[in-house]
């Protein structure tokens, strides 16, 4: 195929991709749509076909020695979602943590010639590729810096916007310090094993959320790296992943499967295609010992039937554990339930099912949780009400606005 034909095909595929993102409601602003139509995504995906470059999928650009992805061009719907969250405008100074080149080019379009984009990455190969691709695509004005994202980029601070495009477990003080007052940080933040892309606004010395979306990202490397711990059960058939709170005595679970089991159905139903991400967060914030259960597809005996086999909400209490499951009601609807193992399985299954009912009653139709980030030196007891997750640098608080009418509105004076 000739270079002219290639260019025409790329433009056609790019237009089709953007049309899909607009139709799906992922792109909602004229500015983000214009940026996506302007930036040639295929120039940031060397080795990929044009069809691969413009598919709604991520493009892996580097793997480690175990074959695990450590760098990629994120799926276009995730990039569009985060750019809409960040609300970049003309003339802004922006920092991207986690480089690839394409997203930085989109940001350069959004801030215009009067703005400034800096993109940093810890991996020299990634930085070299990003710099080369940006130059070839006509975005040489983007600053490409080799640095550990944990430190931000003090020499080009302050920033009106910081966008983190790798999965982060913590929020270092440098990110907050390098924001202008009223500036915002958009970050895929992992809390209790669940990742949400959250846009925070800086308010003095802390951050307050203004939006949160489900997402998944390659984990951060360097000083900000934090690995989950995995507890394997039944000869590695079942895994329990803990992000924060490792059980005091994990060996207590060794006899759980022989000690008994119980199943409790909640009466709460959901459409098979209906998202229920706020339920996952509700369980994570209300259940001590929260973790995520996975099943090895090659060893699956059918003993456990979680809501999904990759990362189902679960909880451990001493000698017992329970997880979220579903059963079919009809072709379009399923019912949530709790399945537990251990000597006190019945009580634990009941408590998990009750939390599903509480979510359905009080928060399912609500606005979802609010997140805030406070410096780690502030005592936890001085923080606002809600779950407090203490990380290396900060406290993250998760609170749930009430959807119940005030007492006076109910006539209860």
Helix (H, G, I), strand (E, B) or coil at 321: strand
Give me the helix-helix angle, 102-111 and 124-136, nearest 10°: 50
Please report, to the nearest 10 degrees, the dihedral formed by the alpha carbons of residues 36, 38, 42, 45 taken in order: -70
Select which of 2, 7, 29, 71 is catalytic: 71
159 - beta bridge partners? 179
Active site annotation includes 346: no
CB 352 within 8 A of CB 364: no
Among all chains, which residue has been given the structure tokens 């983000």? 32
- Count Cβ atoms below 10 Å from residue 310 Cβ, excluding itself: 10
d(C-alpha 402, C-alpha 398), whole Å: 13
Q: How far apart are CA 282 and CA 215, in angstroms?
A: 17
The alpha carbon of residue 1 and the mean position of all alpha carbons in its chain are separated, in whole angstroms, by 40
| Euclidean distance between CA atoms 28 and 339, whole angstroms | 41
**Cα–Cα dist 73/52, whole Å:** 11
Kindly tell me the burial class for residue 396, based on how many C-beta atoms sit within 10 Å of its own C-beta (0-12, 13-18, 19 or more).
buried
Among 40, 37, 64, which residue's Cα sits nearest to residue 53?
Answer: 40
C-alpha distance from residue 287 to each of 142, 177, 313, 315, 355 (Å)? 45, 33, 10, 7, 8
Q: Which residues are catalytic?
A: 71
């Amino acid at each position: 195929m000739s270079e002219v034909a290639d260019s025409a095909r790329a433009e056609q595929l790019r237009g089709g991709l953007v049309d899909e993102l607009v139709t799906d409601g992922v792109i909602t602003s004229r500015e983000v749509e214009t940026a996506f139509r302007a930036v040639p995504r295929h120039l940031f995906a060397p080795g990929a076909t044009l069809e691969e470059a413009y598919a709604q999928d991520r493009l892996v650009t580097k793997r480690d020695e175990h074959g695990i992805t450590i760098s990629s061009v994120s799926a276009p719907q995730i990039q569009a979602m985060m750019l809409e969250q960040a609300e970049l405008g003309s003339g802004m100074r922006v920092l991207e943590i986690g480089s690839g080149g394409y997203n930085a080019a989109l940001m350069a379009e959004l801030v215009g010639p009067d703005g400034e984009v800096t993109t940093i990455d810890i991996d020299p190969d990634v930085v070299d590729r990003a710099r080369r691709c940006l130059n070839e695509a006509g975005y040489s004005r983007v600053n490409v810096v080799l640095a550990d994202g944990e430190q931000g980029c003090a020499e080009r601070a302050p920033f009106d916007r910081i966008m983190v495009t790798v999965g982060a477990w913590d929020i270092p003080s440098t990110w907050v310090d390098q924001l202008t007052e009223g500036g915002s940080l958009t970050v895929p933040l992992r809390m209790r094993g669940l990742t949400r892309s959250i846009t925070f606004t800086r308010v003095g010395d802390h951050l307050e959320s203004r939006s949160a979306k489900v997402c998944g990202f390659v984990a951060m490397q360097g000083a900000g790296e934090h690995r989950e711990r995995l507890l394997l059960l039944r000869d590695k058939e079942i895994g329990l992943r803990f992000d924060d709170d490792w059980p005091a005595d994990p060996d207590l679970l060794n006899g759980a499967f022989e000690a008994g089991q119980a199943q409790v159905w909640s009466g709460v139903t959901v459409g098979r295609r209906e998202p229920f991400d706020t339920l996952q967060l509700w369980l994570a914030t209300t259940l001590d010992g929260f973790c995520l259960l996975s099943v090895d597809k090659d060893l699956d005996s059918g003993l456990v039937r979680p809501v999904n086999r990759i990362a189902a909400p679960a909880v451990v209490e001493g000698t017992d554990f329970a997880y979220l499951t579903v059963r079919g009601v009809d072709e379009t609807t399923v019912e949530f339930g709790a399945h537990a193992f251990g000597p006190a399985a019945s009580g634990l299954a009941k408590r998990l099912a009750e939390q599903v009912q509480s979510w359905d009653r009080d928060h399912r139709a609500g606005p979802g949780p609010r997140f805030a980030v406070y410096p780690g030196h502030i005592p936890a007891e001085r923080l606002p009400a809600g779950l407090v997750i203490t990380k290396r640098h900060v406290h993250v608080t998760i609170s749930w606005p009430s959807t119940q009418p005030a007492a006076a509105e109910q006539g209860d004076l």
